[in-house]
Structure 1
Amino acid sequence: NMSSSTPTTSSHRLQVLLSHIHPLKEVQQSISANATSAESSSAPSSNLSLSAALTKFRVSYFNEDFERAREVTLALIRNNPHIFFVDHQWSPKEKKEFTHVQFKHFCAANILTVQIVNENLFYFLGVLDVLALFDTSLLGKVVIHYQLFGSCLWRVGTERQRHVLEDVDRGHHTASFCMTEIGHGSNVRSLETEAHYDPDTKEFVIHTPRDSATKMWAGNVALYGTLTIVFAQLIVGGKNHGVHAFLVPLRDPNNLARVTPGVIIKDLGVKNAWRGVDNSLVRFNKVRIPRENLLNQFADVTEDGTYVSAIKSDGERFGKTLGALLFGRVLYCVGPTANLQASLSVAIRYACQRKQFGDARAGENYIWDYPSHRLKLVPPLANSFAFYFASSRFSKQFATLNDETLHDFHTFISGAKAYICEYTPLQLARNEAVCGGHGFHTDSRLGEFHMEMVPFQIAEGDSIVLYQQTARDLINRLMKGFQKTGPSAANDMAADIVNIYGDFSSLDNGLASELLSISNVIGLLSKRFSQLLLASGARMMKLKKSGKSNTEVWNGTLELALDVARSYVELNLACIFAKELRDSCKDMTIRKILVSLLNVFLLSLVHDHLGFHLAEEIITPTQGKELNCARSALITENDIFDKSHILSVIDSFRIPDYVLRASIGRSNMDYVGNLMDLARMPRTEVVEIPTTHHSQ
């Protein structure tokens, strides 16, 4: 049997910290007075004018609300160092306690409300941009509270339930989200938790019928959760109407020891990451809630037990319910992008300081000057810009989403989320390795950055699940087009994608060869996509003709289908990057840097799939060699990636030292002194040793 888990509210340490939480008005005044002050007092380490110009360019991609939210969140952290700090020596229990204190302090500051999250996307993203870099556990608690719970209630519920939002906004309630079960995660339709309607008492009875129906990974629940949204099969009069969402109280917010009767909570214990989030197992033993707690935007149950919905299709109703959560995929692109740029900031700043080997005459070399080192770090830097521009586009599209654009948006965002979250953890591990022993130390945060991004990758299943959503739609479109135009349908689809972004023939990338032009390299990516798409369609038709079942047909096509999805995302990312450069960047100095990064991004995509391009005769071996040589020369010989330029790019990410918190990556460019300070060791005094003269 699972016993209820309650917090140790008598903890002296926790009470001391809680006593520091200021009244709301005081916090707001503190933020207002300091929000426009400088983000970091650290000495600059790069070309100030170039860094400022790059910063101005990046800022232009989001609106003033994004910047305002970023400023107030930074001010909250900067002005409350006694609350917003992280000690790597904390035990798992202490980590949860301290993170919850920070979460309560954040709520008290009134920076966010559920309404803001749902009506001002860019403000919300500005807040998350900072929290993602400061501590992912705090980010997780805020997102679960305001976005997962809050957005679900806002979009799937009605005024009938929104009365609870005031207490949620101010942190009186700690809100959570119970969807995933031990037996089911991504397959939401097959969740096993049940909600039976009792017309005699006008209540729903929430019940866990078997062990596999136990809710798992519910965040904000184990120690502090007071209110949650439960996804369960709605059963009325013996008929199952599918998965619906219900508002369920977990604890008394005024006495956390008082757990709702029938609710059984078990702390999941220590995890590999997000250790400050109190995840849990939750079971419901015939828990009764009022009829009004059914989130009834798309369906309702009347007092006498009649199920009513203006949406007649079960599939459409289910889709609208989960569609309200689509914003989460935007966050799953924005968060890893910020994390990747933070990790690269540490790795590149360290590489520009650390010296290793060299000859006796010239002295040791900076490891940044080794071609092999640049080849490891410049391509992911280019990727981070591609992801950044794409995330900006996703955000703007989501803000204006309607029924006509929803389908195409879903196809792209599903694949993009899978791609970015698949790539980022792998690169974060490489960033840790290229810093050697210093990267292995906890204080570098490189290992933390890596592990904290793994949950992003496995959310909604691993990348394969979302790639399949993208691939299914693309292959279905191909089949419809195939009936009209035959094999040329694949080329037409690829051309249609590129045409969305306009003509790139006039975009000069500074490379003399036509083979290396932006429009030509994008053409190579387009051909890869169209050929993979056509091959998938042909495989599918062949399997169908052989009498295979639908499941066997899809599984037999799956390997190709996944490459279709990846190549589709890569083609779109390339076009978005090129479009932003063509349309938005007018400053020639910045343009030169971004053109170089775009060239690296495009040529790296060809490099990564060189075998395919050669095998399919898209390019010749001679052309393949030219493409690879151009990529290497661009990265290792181009002065745009020298020390001062690359540090200016890093500084434009605008990550203050008090948020980055990495001794080897601080902007003062003194990793040796920073590590001495970390160890609290006295600095070595440089003493001139006198020459001793020996008598003959």
Structure 2
Amino acid sequence: MAPTLDGRDDVLWSDPPRGPLDAYRACASFSPRELQLFWEGEDLLRFKKTVFSALEKDPLFAGSRGADLPLEKYRELSFLRCKRIFEYGFFSLDNLSQNPLRLPALVYCLGAYDWSVGTKFALHLMVFGSTVHSLGSERHLKYVEKVLNMEIFGCFALTELSHGSNTQAIRTTAHYDPTTEEFIIHSPDFEAAKFWVGNMGKTATHAVVFAQLYTPDGQCHGLHSFVVQIRDPETLLPMPGVMVGDMGRKLGQNGLDNGFAMFHKVRIPRQDLLNRAGDVTPQGAYVSAVKDARQRAGVALGSLSSGRVFITGMCVVNLQQAVCIALRFSATRRQFGPTEEEEVPVLEYQVQQWRLLPYLAAAYALDHLSKSLLLDLAGLYQGRLRGDHGARQAELSREIHALAAAAKPLVSWTAQQGIQECREACGGHGYLAVNRLGDLRNDNDPNCTYEGDNNVLLNQTSSYLLSFLERGVQGGAHFQSPLRTVDFLEAYPGMLGQKFKGTSVTDWLDPTAPLAAYRWLVCYLLQRSHQKVAQEKRSGRRDFEAKNNSQVYHMRTLALGFMELTAVQRFHERTHSPEVPPSLQAVLSRLSLLYALWSLSRHMTLLYQGGYLSGKQAGEALEDAILDLCAQLKDDAVSLVDVIAPPDFVLNSPIGRADGELYKNLWGAVLQGTGALERAAWWQEFSMHRPVLGSLKAKL
């Protein structure tokens, strides 16, 4: 049942201050407070408001976000802020189990304020803590309690100096010694040093360390995870045999201390092996309830999928903030007009709408995608905690792995491109650091790389899709994936014969049109990719070479197209569900269509190349439909932004404030800047060089 307004919204919703944005807000076709309640739900709205209110009132969160601080001071401030969040007690195991979106929402609130704080908190609690909880057993609960009490501080040590994406080639070893019932953690050389580990640089006391597990018989049982103490919690000095350090300044998120570590025959108790995937008896025998080695590796690395899904939410937060800033700016920035005396807001220009409104639609669509994937993950982990190792659970794990591997590239690249477009759409003012678009861009940038390079990750999704052909889809075999994301392939290859028969804008504005086009597109790309790999193999190339030579224009595009279809499908289902209040149906339907058609338009060449489209009218109508939707959403844009915008204190952008006083806010921020009205400290250098220049002029 849809949420109703019964006075609760007065607590949850604060009307934006009056000002230059009033004209657009008055034109909105819907109630922003009603949409916010529907979009977030009452529980999350109350929770986020509580978090934001606490941050704004706390002196520790006032002042600098770190950009103008020395590196060490910024690291200290980020840790203190992270510690303060635990003191507030925003979460408990009980309320987290009731709403699995609460903890991600907390991290995203912190990230909207400063990703150095948000990421630091998430790495300790959601990555280190949840990995110990999900990959360990009852004997590891002592660590979970210490994580929640901040008696220890954690990090996740998988990547090494010479290996990142290729996790199976990780070279850190863990040899079991039955005489002492200990594992010996060892880095064979500096290339095996754990590298790029967030929190490890200065603050982590414990790490989940991934290493190749060896039993006394010399057999390697593959990658497993271990809890390893790396520093003394009382002194923060390294433990014996551990060399640990900080990597230094990065392009962004410099309040987060990324570090490295090497282990020289460090002994840890046998019980510190996280044993959900496999265990070692005191005598040194390897035992596991998961008999399939590949499935066992999937369990061991399952936390990577959760990390990738979590990153999609980080990117959405960044995109939402950039869109908020750019659209509020565009609604108040006036330039040119039909007469010399009349200037109009730049949002009225078609090109500005075309540049920004698809990213507004993407901010909504990808927000829903991220939340839905988090709920899918929650279901997967509940099965694991029940000890479910059945066929459906294994298939669910494969599907989520494939979805997460493509969702991170899609969402992080969309955010990267969107933030840059927003920066340029704000002109010169967008380049001013105080307006935060540069920080958003820099803090978002690593999302394209960590937890797997985007292009490498797409290989995993395309291989997943191609595996269905190998399992008999071509022969008409029926199958279903647990989340039903690939069920449409049951119609392959018959779907390849379909064509778009429309010629008008109205034809494209049918909500089923982009969905049908995307299903055809994925089938077409699947066929092309399969044929390309087969061709390479017929030419005598091995499987590795065949797939390597089929990435560009084939498998990479297949994975992205599949993920776009998934995002479009899920957003369509959300915006067209019976739960949508009648007053919100029109605006949500427009957002859904705009995201779908805008995403689809980037594949226009393939749509014509494969014969789905023919004649220039179909392509022109698609472009016109996008412009038509932008025009329809233009008057709703400011109110749509109000629904997803954080408080001004968090957004922290003079040109993006909710009051719309663009020039007043920007002028005040510039005048308050450090040294804005002061004489240059090096002014004497200016006057001292005048005689030299004068002498040179005389000689000339």
Give, in whole Å, the separation in 1 of the partners of 2:623 and 2:190.
54
Q: Give 1:166's aligned residue.
A: 145
Q: Give 2:511's aligned residue.
A: 518
- Cα 1:172–1:414 change in 2 (3 A) is same
Give, in whole Å, the separation in 2 of the partners of 1:80 and 1:550.
58
Give the alignment's TM-score, normalised by structure 1: 0.85
Give, in whole Å, the separation in 2 of the partners of 1:484 and 1:604.
34
Give, in whole Å, the separation in 1 of the partners of 2:396 and 2:486.
17
Alignment partner for residue 89 of structure 1, among 47, 65, 68?
68
Q: Which amino acid aligns with 1:647?
A: V
User: How far did 1:49 drift?
Assistant: 10
Give, in whole Å, the separation in 2 of the partners of 1:392 and 1:497.
27
The answer on whether the counterparts of 2:108 and 2:314 sit within 8 Å (CA) in structure 1 is yes
Specify the SS of the correspondent of 2:549: helix
The answer on whether the counterparts of 2:329 and 2:656 sit within 8 Å (CA) in structure 1 is yes
Specify the SS of the correspondent of 2:248: coil
Which residues in structure 2 correspond to 1:108-187 (within 5 Å)? 108-112=87-91, 120-187=99-166
Alignment partner for residue 417 of structure 1, among 408, 419, 430?
408
User: How far did 1:48 drift?
Assistant: 7.4
- Are 1:582 and 2:562 counterparts? no
The answer on whether the counterparts of 1:110 and 1:170 sit within 8 Å (CA) in structure 2 is no
Q: Which amino acid aligns with 2:326?
A: A
Give, in whole Å, the separation in 1 of the partners of 2:251 and 2:15.
31
Deviations 1:212-251 (Å, cap 9, x if unpaired)? Answer: 1000011112222211111111122122221111111122
Q: Greater shift after overlay, 460-469 or 262-271?
A: 460-469
Q: Give 1:534's aligned residue.
A: 527
Which residues in structure 2 correspond to 1:245-256 (within 5 Å)? 245-256=225-236
Which residues in structure 2 correspond to 1:96-495 (within 5 Å)? 96-112=75-91, 120-237=99-216, 238-256=218-236, 258-358=237-337, 360-401=339-380, 402=383, 403=393, 405-485=396-476, 495=488
In structure 1, the gaps of 5 or more residues are 1-34, 500-510, 683-696
Which residues in structure 2 correspond to 1:16-27 (within 5 Å)? none
Large movers: runs of 4+ above 4 Å: 35-44, 48-52, 61-65, 113-120, 496-499
User: How far did 1:471 drift?
Assistant: 0.7
Q: Give 1:548's aligned residue.
A: 541
Give, in whole Å, the separation in 2 of the partners of 1:483 and 1:135.
49
Alignment partner for residue 602 of structure 1, among 589, 592, 596?
596
Give, in whole Å, the separation in 2 of the partners of 1:252 and 1:397.
37
- Cα 1:292–1:482 change in 2 (3 A) is closer
Deviations 1:608-653 (Å, cap 9, x if unpaired)? Answer: 1222222222112121122222322332x43x313xx211110011
The answer on whether the counterparts of 1:118 and 1:151 sit within 8 Å (CA) in structure 2 is no
Specify the SS of the correspondent of 1:407: helix
User: How far did 1:462 drift?
Assistant: 1.8
Q: Which amino acid aligns with 2:572?
A: A
Q: Greater shift after overlay, 613-622 or 229-238?
A: 613-622
User: How far did 1:317 drift?
Assistant: 1.4
Specify the SS of the correspondent of 2:261: strand
- Cα 1:423–1:346 change in 2 (3 A) is same
Give the alignment's TM-score, normalised by structure 2: 0.84
- Cα 1:599–1:83 change in 2 (3 A) is closer
Give, in whole Å, the separation in 2 of the partners of 1:252 and 1:36.
46
Q: Greater shift after overlay, 195-204 or 557-566?
A: 195-204
Q: Give 1:569's aligned residue.
A: 563
Q: Which amino acid aligns with 1:613?
A: L
Q: Give 1:508's aligned residue.
A: none
User: How far did 1:157 drift?
Assistant: 1.1
Which residues in structure 2 correspond to 1:23-38 (within 5 Å)? none
Q: Give 2:621's aligned residue.
A: 626
Q: Which amino acid aligns with 2:399?
A: D
The answer on whether the counterparts of 1:177 and 1:229 sit within 8 Å (CA) in structure 2 is yes
Q: Give 2:683's aligned residue.
A: none
Q: Which amino acid aligns with 2:283?
A: D
Q: Give 2:678's aligned residue.
A: none
Give, in whole Å, the separation in 2 of the partners of 1:181 and 1:264.
14
Q: Which amino acid aligns with 1:239?
A: Q
- Are 1:658 and 2:653 counterparts? no
The answer on whether the counterparts of 1:62 and 1:392 sit within 8 Å (CA) in structure 2 is no
User: How far did 1:263 drift?
Assistant: 1.0
Give, in whole Å, the separation in 1 of the partners of 2:317 and 2:490.
27
Give, in whole Å, the separation in 2 of the partners of 1:423 and 1:569.
12
User: How far did 1:113 drift?
Assistant: 5.2
Q: Which amino acid aligns with 2:642?
A: D
Deviations 1:655-689 (Å, cap 9, x if unpaired)? Answer: 1001111111000111211123223469xxxxxxx
Alignment partner for residue 51 of structure 2, among 73, 76, 95?
73
In structure 2, the gaps of 5 or more residues are 1-9, 384-392, 493-503, 674-700
Q: Which amino acid aligns with 1:587?
A: P
- Are 1:649 and 2:640 counterparts? yes
The answer on whether the counterparts of 2:304 and 2:451 sit within 8 Å (CA) in structure 1 is no
Give, in whole Å, the separation in 2 of the partners of 1:572 and 1:357.
41
- Cα 1:616–1:300 change in 2 (3 A) is closer
Give, in whole Å, the separation in 2 of the partners of 1:40 and 1:241.
59
- Cα 1:336–1:482 change in 2 (3 A) is same
- Cα 1:617–1:681 change in 2 (3 A) is same
Give, in whole Å, the separation in 1 of the partners of 2:206 and 2:93.
15
User: How far did 1:276 drift?
Assistant: 0.4
Alignment partner for residue 557 of structure 1, among 550, 559, 564?
550
Q: Which amino acid aligns with 1:616?
A: G
Q: Greater shift after overlay, 573-582 or 42-51?
A: 42-51
Give, in whole Å, the separation in 2 of the partners of 1:255 and 1:172.
13
User: How far did 1:64 drift?
Assistant: 4.8
Specify the SS of the correspondent of 1:143: helix
The answer on whether the counterparts of 2:505 and 2:624 sit within 8 Å (CA) in structure 1 is no
- Cα 1:224–1:117 change in 2 (3 A) is farther
Deviations 1:331-358 (Å, cap 9, x if unpaired)? Answer: 1222211211111000110111112223
Specify the SS of the correspondent of 1:196: strand
Specify the SS of the correspondent of 1:421: helix
Give, in whole Å, the separation in 1 of the partners of 2:100 and 2:27.
31
- Cα 1:37–1:79 change in 2 (3 A) is farther
The answer on whether the counterparts of 1:298 and 1:317 sit within 8 Å (CA) in structure 2 is yes
Number of residue pairs matched? 628
User: How far did 1:654 drift?
Assistant: 3.9
The answer on whether the counterparts of 1:418 and 1:467 sit within 8 Å (CA) in structure 2 is yes
Deviations 1:237-275 (Å, cap 9, x if unpaired)? Answer: 12222111111112221222x321111112100000110
The answer on whether the counterparts of 2:12 and 2:45 sit within 8 Å (CA) in structure 1 is no
Q: Which amino acid aligns with 2:607?
A: H
Deviations 1:55-95 (Å, cap 9, x if unpaired)? Answer: 43344355554334323321320220343542532122221
Q: Greater shift after overlay, 63-72 or 564-573?
A: 63-72
Deviations 1:139-192 (Å, cap 9, x if unpaired)? Answer: 110110001100110011122122122222122322111111001112212111
User: How far did 1:117 drift?
Assistant: 5.9
- Cα 1:229–1:251 change in 2 (3 A) is same
Specify the SS of the correspondent of 1:60: helix
